[in-house]
């Protein structure tokens, strides 16, 4: 797909809370946005790695079977490339949620794709997909937008876990992963790795503490409003240790299960490198 | 009578004899030529008939399948999936082209070939003489499957090769598919690099010059005029010499507008296909059974061993994924050396690779502009190997990297290996050898489920060479698993006499992994608790020893042989004597379960897999070398004299070398060359 000028109307989607408008962005967020604006490719890769799967899944859902994994990936790349342009115009004073910001651009990209396809067919001009209506609510009765917000939040939690994994010692993290994420009892974990239960408990407590800290940092980084920052509390991540572990395990169970996209989507050798960011300041 | 008369008579006789001999010689020559002519004619007729049958079968199959491709393309077009519709249309076109070429070959080429007439290549009317290049180029006709023996059409199996015969079909799209010294037999689907892939048979003169004298090779060709670019050619040619030294590339040539190289040709399913078959056979969510698990993990060990060779040769593969692994003759072979890179390259790291099998850290480093030699590229291969092992266990790709969840039942030790391989760059296996040692430990365990993460060599800090190369650790020649536990034994020995006593008993072969895990854990308890556990362990050990004796009795009756390895450095204690007894290998035939270790299995790399294959009851393995040869090889590997090796073996309590001989589906165990104790 060729590069197109993207005009993103940030007012689409759920509106920001009043509190969010009043509060300034967290310094971590500001730093992250600055990195994006400075075309720090590592920051963009983080964005791709963390939220790419969510956006891909959303495209696939919008497409209702008419969007294959490759197209979903192409659109995700396009979204990211457009984000690079939109970040220049991002205004923190408007208090738009980070997730909304992402979704707005994704909607725009998807709309363009639909228009392009319909223009090449008879009956062009009639939209085959209604982005506003979206697919029916999921089986648990969650509205599509709510489901999207939940996925974005889960993606943030997974990003935090990944960061803890990359900065912790292997054994300690594996003990925590086996105990908390896989739900194996402490005694069995101790047996498997040849240590004692108290050692397992120490590892779990240490990783839990690190995860709490990393979670706060990650959520701040990818949250533009105070409302988003408080999502962790609402998800039970500010509760007691056992509740925290249970909430993390549940998020992991939902998020890190079998992939929803076909492996065909993986057979690309240049997925990341093929993204062409518009030059800085391009509109 | 005139004396001349008798002379003439003699001369006449001699001349008659000579004439007779001459005529007989001529007759024999005529006969030979006639026989050869008839043989050649018959051979050509048979070859022609076989080829025609193959051509017709392929043509009919393609003709039957083509309408479906067309219908699919139309349906996809109607529902707006243009890209896929385009691909289906291309497939339809290639099938029609294939039908045309096969008919041309069956009706014209092959009959004329009987008369020795060489038909010049003819361009098919459905394909332009100089077809489009690049992404829009028509796909190659599916003439021969490089991947997937099941999909390989019969013509090539049926049609014999001839060094003077033209290619069995014409140059379909004007590609420069002529390579000196090779006869092109078919084309393979092109990968993402834009290169053309051909299956070719080396001519006899060329064949003898190639390593391994292969009967078929795969030629990868990059032509500027056919969609390839100069950077691609440069990248591909960068590590050519190293790749040649490793046997990955057999031949190559750089021509003014083209670069090509020949690689070994393997026919068989990809690991993706094999894993899918094994999982489907057992249901979607039941995981793999023990047999399939051993088979696939054994193949993974092949892959890891191959990668270790890459790394030792100063290269890294960079695109390890199940689709790039072909299983042929019970072995796993890595293909596609397109991204192979020297570890010491001074070029900037690139992001090439396959998503989900490519280490995200590599992408980060590439985005920072890191040079290849500034990182350890081998670790990126290790990540990919872990991702491949994940896909073996789960039949899907690891969408969340090291955090990907296991949803199917699988041994804990293998999950641990996956996570260790896919861990953070600085925390994963430092070398492929360590990963290989862990995999072999699991393979040699009584059952994969019995091996616990705590027992893996990497967890105990054991030297991976103890499972790989006897040069570093002579113990590995027997008792790979027990000897790999050397680190753990050392750890356990540090706990005082009671603890040491208990832990030694805990390490006996034949004991369940659970018992060993519990025993090892017990060393952290108080001395009294440890002593109590030791008493229990001793009792269990005695029972196990008795059980081992019974297993040998079963072997004598031809049911089962359990091969236990003696431990190294044992004294003349009662325990040692018991254990030595349990290592006796009575002669006899029967299915052999090689448990824990097998002498020689770790001494000669080529035979290690053979031993493993015997262990899981596979056919087609090659015999292990003779005992004298094995001893010499062992001495070479260890860098010592054979006599010293023998003395060392005897000192450590080894009873001798063991040779396994294939006897159909059964395996004959024959102890040879016992060493005097």
**Interchain pair A117, B424: CB under 8 A:** no
Confidence band, pLDDT 50/70/90 cuts, at residue B480 = very low
As a whole number, mean pLDDT of residues B509-514 equals 31
Partners of A41 on chain B (C-beta within 8 Å) are: 367-368
For B390, the closest chain A residue by CA position comes to A258
As a whole number, mean pLDDT of residues B16-43 equals 87
As a whole number, mean pLDDT of residues A53-79 equals 75
Confidence band, pLDDT 50/70/90 cuts, at residue B422 = very high
Q: Which of A165, A182, A267 sits opposite B402 (nearest CB)?
A: A165
Render pLDDT for B440-457 as a digit per residue (tens, 0 to 9): 888 888 788 888 888 888
For A190, the closest chain B residue by CA position comes to B521
| Whether residue B580 has pLDDT greater than 50 | no
pLDDT recorded at residue B177: 64
pLDDT recorded at residue B416: 93
Mind listing the domains of chain B with CATH numbers? 275-460 (1.10.510.10), 476-674 (no CATH)
Interface size A-B, in CB pairs within 8 Å, comes to: 131
Confidence band, pLDDT 50/70/90 cuts, at residue A211 = very high
In the 8-state DSSP scheme, what is residue B344? Answer: T
As a whole number, mean pLDDT of residues B343-352 equals 80
pLDDT recorded at residue A201: 93
Euclidean distance between CA atoms B296 and B302, whole angstroms: 10
pLDDT recorded at residue B127: 28
Q: Name which of A49-58, A263-272, B117-126, B561-570 the model is least confident about.
A: B561-570
Rg over CA atoms, chain A: 20
**Interchain pair A68, B84: CB under 8 A:** yes
**In B243-361, where do the E strands start and end?**
251-255, 258-264, 315-316, 325-328, 331-334, 341-342
Tell me the nearest-neighbour CA distance from A251 into chain B, angstroms.
12
Q: What is the pTM of this model?
A: 0.56
CB of B423 less than 8 A from some CB of A: yes
Q: Which of A70, A161, A273 sits opposite B351 (nearest CB)?
A: A273
CB of B560 less than 8 A from some CB of A: no
Residue appearing with tokens 């720090």: A40
pLDDT recorded at residue A202: 93
Render pLDDT for B223-249 as a digit per residue (tens, 0 to 9): 766 666 666 666 666 667 767 777 788
Residues across chain A: 283
Euclidean distance between CA atoms B73 and A135, whole angstroms: 27
As a whole number, mean pLDDT of residues B588-598 equals 32
Render pLDDT for B38-62 as a digit per residue (tens, 0 to 9): 887 787 788 778 888 888 888 888 8
Euclidean distance between CA atoms A250 and A158, whole angstroms: 11
B contact test, residue of A120, A188, A258 with most B CBs within 10 A:
A258
**Interchain pair B355, A195: CB under 8 A:** no
- Strand B325-328 vs strand B331-334: parallel, antiparallel, or unpaired? antiparallel
CA B381, distance to chain mean position in Å, is 17
Count how many Cα atoms sit within 13 Å of the Cα of residue B151 in the half-sphere of its side chain: 14
Render pLDDT for B317-328 as a digit per residue (tens, 0 to 9): 888 999 889 998
- In percent, the amount of chain B with pLDDT more than 70 equals 54
In the 8-state DSSP scheme, what is residue B298? Answer: H
**Interchain pair A266, B357: CB under 8 A:** yes
pLDDT recorded at residue B259: 81
**Interchain pair A269, B356: CB under 8 A:** no
Contacts of B523 (CB under 8 A, 6+ apart): B492, B495, B499, B502, B503, B530
Euclidean distance between CA atoms B12 and B274, whole angstroms: 79
The neighbouring-strand residues paired with B262 are: B219, B251
pLDDT recorded at residue B24: 92
Domain boundary assignment for chain A: 22-118, 144-255
| Whether residue A4 has pLDDT greater than 70 | no
| Whether residue B251 has pLDDT greater than 60 | yes
Q: Name which of B20-24, B217-221, B427-431, B635-639 the model is least confident about.
A: B635-639
| Whether residue A11 has pLDDT greater than 70 | no
pLDDT higher at B96 or B656: B96
Distances (CA, A) of B598 to B467, B608, B676: 12, 9, 19
**Interchain pair A266, B355: CB under 8 A:** yes
For B84, the closest chain A residue by CA position comes to A68
| Whether residue A107 has pLDDT greater than 90 | no
Helix (H, G, I), strand (E, B) or coil at A100: helix
Structural fold of domain A22-118: Rna Polymerase Sigma Factor; Chain: A (1.10.1740)
As a whole number, mean pLDDT of residues A227-252 equals 79
pLDDT recorded at residue B3: 54
pLDDT recorded at residue A270: 42
**Interchain pair B521, A190: CB under 8 A:** yes
Partners of B406 on chain A (C-beta within 8 Å) are: 182
Contacts of B625-628 with C-beta under 8 Å, sequence gap 24+, read B625/B600, B626/B659, B627/B656, B627/B657, B627/B659, B627/B672, B627/B673, B628/B673
Tell me the nearest-neighbour CA distance from B78 into chain A, angstroms.
9
**Interchain pair A269, B82: CB under 8 A:** no
- Strand B182-188 vs strand B196-202: parallel, antiparallel, or unpaired? antiparallel
Euclidean distance between CA atoms B261 and B235, whole angstroms: 13
Partners of A42 on chain B (C-beta within 8 Å) are: 364, 367-368
Partners of A214 on chain B (C-beta within 8 Å) are: none
Euclidean distance between CA atoms B341 and B240, whole angstroms: 9
| Whether residue B586 has pLDDT greater than 50 | no
Mean of the per-residue pLDDT values of chain A? 71
Question: Looking at this predicted complex, what is its ipTM?
Answer: 0.72
**Interchain pair B424, A191: CB under 8 A:** no
Partners of B520 on chain A (C-beta within 8 Å) are: 194
Confidence band, pLDDT 50/70/90 cuts, at residue B393 = very high
What tokens does B417 get? Answer: 């290996």
As a whole number, mean pLDDT of residues B403-416 equals 90
Render pLDDT for A72-83 as a digit per residue (tens, 0 to 9): 777 777 777 777
Euclidean distance between CA atoms A10 and B491, whole angstroms: 62
| Whether residue B282 has pLDDT greater than 90 | no
Tell me the nearest-neighbour CA distance from A43 into chain B, angstroms.
9
Sheet containing strand B196-202, strands side by side: B182-188, B196-202, B217-223, B258-264, B251-255
Confidence band, pLDDT 50/70/90 cuts, at residue B417 = very high
DSSP output for B186-232: EEE---TT--EEEEEEE-HHHHTTSTT--S-EEEEEEEGGGT--HHH
| Whether residue B439 has pLDDT greater than 60 | yes
Tell me the nearest-neighbour CA distance from A66 into chain B, angstroms.
7
| Whether residue A147 has pLDDT greater than 70 | yes
Render pLDDT for A13-43 as a digit per residue (tens, 0 to 9): 333 333 434 445 556 666 777 777 777 777 7
**Interchain pair B399, A53: CB under 8 A:** yes
| Whether residue B280 has pLDDT greater than 60 | yes
**Interchain pair A192, B364: CB under 8 A:** no
CB of B491 less than 8 A from some CB of A: no
**In B98-211, where do the E strands start and end?**
182-188, 196-202
Tell me the nearest-neighbour CA distance from A267 into chain B, angstroms.
6
Render pLDDT for B133-142 as a digit per residue (tens, 0 to 9): 333 333 333 2
Contacts of A121 (CB under 8 A, 6+ apart): B80
Partners of B404 on chain A (C-beta within 8 Å) are: 256
pLDDT recorded at residue A176: 94
Whether A36 and A89 have beta carbons less than 8 Å apart is answered as no
For A41, the closest chain B residue by CA position comes to B367
**Interchain pair A191, B363: CB under 8 A:** no
Whether A102 and A124 have beta carbons less than 8 Å apart is answered as no
| Whether residue B5 has pLDDT greater than 90 | no
Whether A103 and A131 have beta carbons less than 8 Å apart is answered as no
| Whether residue B418 has pLDDT greater than 80 | yes
Q: Which of B80, B192, B350 sits opposite A117 (nearest CB)?
A: B80
**Interchain pair B82, A117: CB under 8 A:** yes
**Interchain pair A194, B351: CB under 8 A:** no
CB of B297 less than 8 A from some CB of A: no
Mean of the per-residue pLDDT values of chain B? 65
Q: What is the 3-state secondary structure (H, E, C) of A172-224?
A: HHHHHHHHHHCCCCHHHHHHHHCCCHHHHHHHHHHHHHHHHHHHHHHHHHCCC
Q: Shortest CA distance to B657 belongs to which of B607, B613, B616?
A: B607
For A71, the closest chain B residue by CA position comes to B83
Q: Shortest CA distance to B416 belongs to which of B469, B459, B385?
A: B459
pLDDT recorded at residue A25: 55
Euclidean distance between CA atoms B266 and B197, whole angstroms: 13
The neighbouring-strand residues paired with B263 are: B218
What tokens does A25 get? Answer: 């962005």
């Amino acid at each position: 797909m060729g590069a197109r000028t993207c005009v993103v109307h940030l007012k689409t989607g759920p509106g920001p809370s009043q509190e969010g408008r009043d509060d300034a962005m967290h310094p971590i967020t500001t730093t992250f946005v600055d990195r994006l604006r400075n075309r720090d490719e590592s920051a963009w890769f983080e964005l791709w790695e963390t939220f790419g799967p969510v956006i891909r899944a959303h495209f696939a859902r919008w497409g209702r079977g008419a969007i294959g994994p490759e197209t979903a990936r192409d659109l995700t790349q396009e979204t990211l490339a457009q984000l690079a342009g939109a970040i220049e115009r991002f205004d923190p004073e408007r208090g738009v949620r980070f997730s909304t910001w992402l979704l707005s651009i994704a909607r725009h990209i998807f709309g363009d794709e639909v228009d392009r396809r319909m223009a090449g067919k008879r009956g062009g001009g009639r939209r085959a997909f209604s982005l506003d209506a979206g697919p029916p609510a999921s089986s648990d009765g969650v509205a599509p937008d709510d489901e999207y917000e939940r996925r974005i939040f889960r993606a943030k939690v997974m990003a935090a876990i990944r960061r803890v994994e990359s900065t912790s010692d292997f054994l300690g993290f594996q003990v925590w992963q086996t105990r908390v994420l896989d739900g194996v009892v402490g005694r069995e974990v101790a047996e498997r790795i040849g240590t004692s239960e108290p050692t397992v408990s120490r590892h779990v407590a240490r990783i839990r503490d690190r995860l709490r800290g990393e979670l706060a940092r990650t959520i701040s980084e990818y949250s533009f409003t105070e409302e988003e920052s408080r999502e962790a509390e609402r998800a039970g991540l500010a509760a007691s240790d056992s509740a925290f572990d249970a909430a993390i395990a549940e998020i992991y169970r939902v998020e890190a299960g079998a992939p929803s996209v076909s492996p065909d989507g993986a057979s690309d050798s240049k997925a990341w490198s093929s993204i062409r960011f518009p030059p800085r300041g391009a509109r | 009578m005139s004396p001349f008369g008798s002379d003439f008579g003699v001369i006449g006789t001699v001349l008659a004899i000579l004439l007779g001999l001459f005529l007989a010689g001529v007759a024999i020559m005529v006969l030979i030529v006639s026989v050869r002519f008839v043989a050649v004619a018959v051979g050509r007729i048979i070859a022609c008939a076989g080829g025609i049958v193959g051509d017709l079968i392929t043509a009919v199959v393609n003709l039957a399948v083509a309408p479906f491709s067309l219908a699919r393309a139309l349906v996809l077009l109607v529902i707006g999936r243009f890209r896929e519709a385009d691909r289906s249309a291309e497939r339809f076109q290639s099938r029609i082209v294939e039908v045309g070429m096969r008919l041309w070959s069956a009706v014209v080429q092959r009959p004329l070939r009987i008369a020795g007439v060489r038909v010049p290549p003819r361009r098919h009317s459905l394909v332009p003489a100089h077809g489009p290049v690049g992404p829009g180029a028509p796909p190659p006709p599916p003439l021969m499957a490089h991947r997937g023996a099941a999909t390989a059409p019969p013509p090539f199996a049926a049609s014999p090769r001839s060094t003077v015969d033209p290619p069995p079909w014409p140059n379909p799209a004007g590609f420069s598919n002529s390579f000196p010294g090779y006869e092109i037999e078919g084309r393979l689907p092109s990968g993402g690099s834009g290169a053309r892939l051909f299956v070719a048979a080396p001519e006899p003169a060329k064949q003898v010059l190639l390593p391994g004298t292969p009967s078929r090779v795969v030629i990868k060709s990059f032509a500027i005029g056919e969609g390839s670019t100069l950077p691609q050619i440069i990248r591909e040619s960068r590590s050519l010499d190293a790749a040649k030294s490793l046997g990955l590339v057999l031949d190559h040539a750089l021509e003014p507008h083209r670069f090509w190289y020949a690689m070994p040709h393997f026919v068989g399913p990809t690991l993706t296909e094999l894993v899918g078959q094994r999982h489907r056979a057992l249901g979607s969510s039941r995981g793999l059974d023990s047999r399939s698990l051993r088979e696939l993990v054994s193949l993974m060990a092949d892959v890891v061993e191959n990668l270790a060779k890459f790394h030792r040769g100063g290269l890294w593969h960079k695109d390890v994924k199940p689709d790039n692994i072909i299983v042929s003759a019970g072995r796993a072979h890595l293909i596609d050396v397109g991204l192979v890179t020297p570890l010491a390259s001074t070029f900037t790291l690139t992001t090439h690779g396959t998503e989900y099998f490519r280490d995200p850290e590599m992408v980060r480093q590439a985005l920072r502009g890191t040079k290849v030699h500034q990182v350890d590229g081998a670790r990126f291969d290790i990540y990919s190997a872990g991702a491949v092992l994940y896909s073996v266990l789960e039949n899907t790709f690891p969408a969340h990297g090291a955090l990907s969840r296991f949803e199917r039942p699988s041994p804990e030790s293998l999950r641990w290996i996956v996570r260790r391989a896919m861990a953070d760059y600085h925390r994963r296996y430092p070398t492929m050898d360590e990963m290989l040692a862990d995999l072999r430990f699991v393979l040699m365990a009584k059952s994969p489920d019995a091996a616990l993460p705590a027992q893996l060599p990497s967890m105990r800090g054991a030297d991976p060479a103890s499972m790989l190369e006897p040069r570093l650790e002579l113990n590995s020649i027997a008792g790979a698993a027990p000897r790999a536990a050397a680190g753990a034994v050392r750890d356990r020995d540090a706990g005082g006499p009671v603890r040491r006593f208990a832990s030694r008993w805990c390490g006996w072969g034949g004991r369940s992994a659970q018992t060993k895990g519990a025993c090892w854990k017990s060393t952290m308890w108080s001395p009294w608790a440890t002593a109590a556990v030791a008493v229990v362990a001793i009792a269990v050990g005695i029972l196990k020893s008795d059980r081992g004796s019974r297993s040998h009795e079963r072997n004598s009756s031809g049911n089962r042989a359990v091969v236990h390895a003696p431990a190294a450095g044992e004294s003349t204690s009662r325990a040692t004597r018991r254990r030595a007894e349990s290592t006796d290998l009575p002669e006899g035939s029967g299915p052999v379960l090689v448990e824990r270790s097998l002498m020689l299995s770790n001494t000669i790399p080529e035979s290690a897999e053979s031993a493993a294959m015997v262990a899981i009851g596979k056919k087609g393995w090659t015999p292990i070398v003779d005992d004298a040869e094995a001893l010499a090889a062992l001495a070479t590997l260890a860098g010592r004299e054979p006599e010293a090796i023998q003395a060392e073996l005897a000192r450590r309590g080894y009873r001798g070398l063991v040779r396994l001989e294939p006897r159909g589906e059964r395996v004959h165990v024959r102890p040879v060359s016992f060493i005097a104790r």
